[in-house]
Structure 1
Amino acid sequence: MAFVYPRLGLRSLAPAAALIVLGGAPVTGAAGHHSGTHGSPGAAGARDPYFPTLGNGGYDVRHYTLTLDYDPGSHRLTGTAEITARAAQDLSAFNLDLHGMAVRSAAVDGTPAVHTRAGDELTLRPAHDVRRGDVFRAVVRYDGAPGELTDSEGTREGWLRTEDGAIALGQPQGSMTWFPGNHHPGDKATYDISVTVPDGLTAVSNGDLRSQRPTADGQGTTFAWHSAQPMATYLATVGVGAYEITRSRPGTAGIPVYTAADRTVAGRVRELLDRVPELTNWSVDKFGPYPFSSTGVIVEREGDADYALETQNRSVFTEDSFDPATLVHELAHQWYGDSVTPRTWRDVWLSEGFATYAEWLYLEEFEDTPVRASFEDAFGSDDNWAFPPADQPGAGQLLGDPVYERGAMTLQKVREAVGDTVFFSVLRGWAATHRHGNASTQDFTAYVERMSGKDLGALWDVWLYGDGRPSRP
């Protein structure tokens, strides 16, 4: 994520809802008697250190098929979520995260399932226990007016209404406002997202556009998008609006480019839109092979959202956040954050520190600002010493300044400790080693020490975990 200037400001996030403890009593529903003999309910949260009830236990999602119909005029979303998952235990029930929306029906493996709601927890009880290791398919049909979540600083996430449609932004909890799922970054999956919108509007999402077809009544268009590489739920997006679309053939890195800009701003941002292939290729040179099947951006009007976000394949910007350094920041996230995703939200500096360092590399090569100068400027800011980047004081400080700039300072200190050859090998190797997976701070520190052959414990103690500013940069 990157913020509208003054960028990298403190973002305070509302804590997740209280933990829901599920009972294990058998339930009789429309499907008939629930066996309740072998299984137990999956956990109602993934036990994230900052969002303990976000996500769910007992299963691993493999694929989401989301079929959506959205009317901006009435702000009504009708959806069907087909969730293919593998049971990690014998399951008598399992939870999905869903904020608002009305659930009309639920089924597991084609048989109706009892469903109940408690806050943002949607519990499904299949007619028969799902055995550990089995792959099962849950189908939830739902509708309503998708909402948004607002933190104490006024930053909005979720399904945000725009002047001509909507834009979905999910970090860290907003994706559960528009589809049920396992909304923790540790459970990544592939996606098919199909969106029907009124005639004259376009629906843009992650991955590759597979088809664009008029509805049977001729009043709308259905856009079908496919994401073949795993994606965390918070990186999923849907943009609905009157966009100016640009498709570019693969450039030197062999990556197709798809950009969508609100028609009222497209002319003003055209010059930078045209640089997306160039800056993607520059990023490939720095960070290694591009991890996804396509790239691009979505640019909305100022005020339609509050920040830029690294939604997978094509990041979302507002016009006022769409500048070259921020574009590089979000492109870098395709490697660091999207492909290599934090294991928990405590590890988010691995996304933001790397993306901020990418900005510093860009500023050095394109604007004659040495990386060391960016480092010293960050070192001098009191805001960057509010807390250690690898140990935020809580969800309210999840994306505070130290996560970005002190995270980037840590990388510069690693560079100075191991030398340029090893450092740039680390940048590329880290992205390759954990490609399409999840990784923690401990994974990173161990990887750097293994690659460099050095014990860097003192460096981590000061720059990742230390409470105060060192006496000199």
Structure 2
Amino acid sequence: MRHRLIVPGAAAVCLLLAIPASAAEPTPGAPGVGDSYYPDSGNGGYHVSHYDLRLKYQPKTDKLEGTATLLATTTQDLSRFNLDFLLDVNEVLVNGKKATFAKSGVHELEITPSAALPKGKDISVVVRYSGTPSQVKVNNFTAWYRTPDGAVVAQEPEAAAWWFPSNDHPTDKATFDISVSVPDGYQTVSNGILGSQTSKLGWTRYNWRSAKPQATYLTTLAVGKFDITQDTTANGLPVLNAYSKDLGDNAPAVRASVERTGEIIDWESSLFGPYPFTAVGGYVPNVKTGYALETQTRPYYSPSSFANGANTSLIVHELAHQWFGDSVSVKDWKNIWINEGFATYAQWLWSEKEGEGTTQELADYIYNGVPADNVFWTVKPGDPGADKQFDRAVYDRGALALQALRTKVGDKTFFEILQGWTAANKYGNASVQDFTTFAEKVSGKPLAQLFDTWLFATSKPAVSPNATDTAGKAGKAAKSLKAPAQPKSWKKIQEAQAAHPHH
């Protein structure tokens, strides 16, 4: 609180002049970053650089206990700040001193330190907590799923609040150390590299490290009993895959797909640039969900995604996200196209490589196969709305936009754009407009109209993304296009898209 001093005469003037003009009352950090779709996600007033999570989990009761230590830097003079969290909090320390705390809203943990925090200060925040995550629901939804032998947390756009306190928005990435203690006989799977595991007093502790910046929703944890395989890619990158021991009839198809992770990463690296992380793999717990998620370095897959046999296209999709979505993440959730359009186009490139339909055939198949009056054409991939964030159009129309770009600039420039984009924005955040500007710079061509047509129009474009005709010839060109026979890989691609998370 500011205190007013009353000093008589000229002395008062001298004192006022001595007060720095920049002096200001500390204020609370915002309870959200102002995202277009999820304004309450994330928080203002600080940036987190590292999370250290020390957890203990009992699969039989679903009881989770934890101590989270956050290293952060303030971005304003802070009187109070928020974390996104849903479990019960026992104690909070800020810079080693007890802080007061209270729950507010749906998932806000308000923390008031013992003294105000000046802008630019490095701080540590320790939160001790416990709870039963699967019993905590928001709008009848939980990101934490129990399995027959444990649990798994993997969801988009929000999942962290069910198991650790965080600044839960992709714009605040951090590194992670995740240490989890489980009863002997159980295992854990998380992001990055397993540094060590030790057993004591009937419990085994697993220590995982993600040494590169990682968004909170891309941070995952699975507890259960797994078969684990380890290998390296052709470039020496460690690969760790984990499979539930009870996948039933889907088990062979699961392994036939996920075990190709190293091969696919090497191929995608040749197209998108060097792989941006220090480990890779995938995991398949025994869950009934029907989606996959690009959790960083170790994508999550549902067994049902492989009910019809091997689904290599899905592996291609989730691994492509390691560049598009994980390394280069959204600035705002309305920019979801920079995740899903590129990952879907990677599936098309794989189809082309495997001789199961070229990217042009796939684009023509969609363009000619979806009538102009279908609602598909009313969804804008460049800003689909929160209720349509994972709509089929974001994936398919998003990929059509990239095929149109490839046709416009040619193969050489197109792949220069992709590799330059992932390099220029590595570990950062970007928007649709950022990509448009970058593509124009690399190609030397005006592309705003092309992206407006394929990403923001609410009607079917008058010409296929493969056409090079001028606007005056668009009608004739569209009429002359005939839908090719359905490519062999199309069913697999549709299955993969159906399996992707939808909120």
Matching residue within 188, 211, 220 for 1:237: 220
User: Counterparts of 1:302 and 1:98 in 2: how far apart (Å)?
Assistant: 24
Aligned residues: 433
- Classify 1:58/1:314 alpha carbon distance in 2 versus 1 (closer, same or farther; 3 Å): same
Does the residue aligned with 2:65 lie in a helix, a strand or coil?
strand
Shift of 1:151: 9.0
Alignment partner of 1:263 is 2:263: no
Q: 1:353·1:408 contact (CA, 8 Å) conserved in 2?
A: yes
In structure 2, the partner of 1:276 is 261
Report the secondary structure of 2:354's partner residue: helix
Shift of 1:417: 0.6
Is 1:372 the equivalent of 2:360? yes
* Bigger radius of gyration: 2
Pairing of 1:141-156 with structure 2 (within 5 A): 141-147=128-134
Aligned pair in 2 of structure 1 residues 151, 145: CA closer, same or farther (>3 Å)? closer
2:63 aligns with 76
Matched letter for residue 269 of structure 1: V
1:386 aligns with 2:378: yes
C-alpha deviations, 1:273-318, integer Å up to 9, x for none?
3311111111111111000000000012351x23000000010001
In structure 2, stretches of 5+ residues that fail to align are 4-22, 465-503
Alignment partner, residue 334 of structure 1: 322
Change (3 A) 1:235 1:148: farther
- How far did residue 25 of structure 1 move? 11
- Which residue is equivalent to 1:403? 394
Instruction: State the alpha-carbon separation in 1 of the partners of residues 242 and 84 from structure 2.
Output: 29
Partner of 2:291: 307
Task: Give the share of equivalent positions with the same residue, in percent.
Answer: 42
Q: TM-score, normalised by structure 1?
A: 0.88
Describe the superposition over 1:141-171 as per-residue Cα deviations: whole angstroms up to 9, x where unpaired.
Answer: 110111378899x9x6511111211111131
Q: Is the 8 A contact 2:285 2:302 kept in 1?
A: yes
Residue 130 of structure 1: how far off its partner (Å): 1.1
Q: Hey, what's the Cα distance between the residues in 1 that align with 2:246 and 2:286?
A: 8
Aligned match of 1:459: 450
2:199 paired with 1:207 = no
Measure, in 1, the Cα distance between the counterparts of 2:131 and 2:207.
Answer: 21
Aligned to 2:313: 325
Picking from 119, 130, 153, the partner of 1:168 is: 153
Aligned-CA RMSD value:
2.0
Confirm or deny: 8 A CA contact 1:383 1:401 kept in the other structure.
no
Gaps of 5+ in 1: 1-23, 27-35
Equivalent residues of 1:170, 1:233 under 8 A apart: no
Q: TM-score, normalised by structure 2?
A: 0.83
Shift of 1:378: 2.5
Supply the AA of the counterpart residue of 1:374. Answer: L
Deviation digits for residues 248-287 of structure 1 (CA, Å, limit 9, x no counterpart): 1x33222110000001235553322331111111111111
Give the 3 Å change call, closer, same or farther, for CA 314–157 of structure 1 in structure 2.
farther
Instruction: Return the alpha-carbon distance in structure 2 between the equivalents of residues 206 and 25 of structure 1.
Output: 46
Tell me which of 107, 119, 138 is aligned to 1:120.
107
Is the Cα–Cα contact under 8 Å of residues 333 and 351 in structure 1 kept in the other structure? yes
Partners of 2:37 and 2:333 within 8 A in 1: yes
Say if 1:175 and 1:183, in contact at 8 Å, map to a contact too. Answer: yes
Aligned to 1:427: 418
Give the AA of the match of 1:406.
R
Question: Residues 51 and 277 (structure 1 numbering): CA distance in 2 closer, same or farther, change over 3 Å?
Answer: same
Identify the structure with bigger relative contact order (alpha carbons < 8 Å, sequence gap 6+). 1
Matched, 1:360 2:344: no
Distance of aligned partners of 1:446 and 1:335 in 2 relative to their CA distance in 1, 3 Å threshold: same
Q: Aligned partners of 1:268 and 1:470: how far apart in 2?
A: 38
Amino acid of the structure 2 residue aligned with 1:396: D
Quick one: structure 1 residues 228 and 148, their matched pair in 2 at CA, closer, same or farther if it must change by over 3 Å? farther
> Which protein has the bigger strand share?
1
In 1, are the aligned partners of 2:147 and 2:287 still within 8 Å (CA)? no
Q: Does residue 1:252 correspond to 2:252, yes or no? A: no
Instruction: Give the Cα separation in 1 of the matches to 2:463 and 2:71.
Output: 53
**1-structure distance, mates of 2:103, 2:254:** 44
Structure 1 match to 2:83: 96
After superposition, the Cα gap between the structure-2 partners of 1:406 and 1:150, relative to the gap in structure 1 and judged at 3 Å, is farther
Greater shift, 462-471 or 182-191, is seen at 462-471
1:44 aligns with 2:20: no
SS of 1:173's partner is: coil
**SS of the residue aligned with 1:376?**
helix
Kept in 1: contact 2:2–2:25 (CA 8 A)? no
Quote how far apart the aligned CAs of 1:213 are. 0.7
Task: Give SS of 2:275's match.
Answer: coil
Output one character per residue of 1:396-416: Cα deviation in whole Å (capped at 9) or x when no partner: 211111211111111110001
Shift of the 150–111 alpha-carbon distance from structure 1 to 2, 3 Å rule, reads closer
Aligned residue identity for 1:263: K
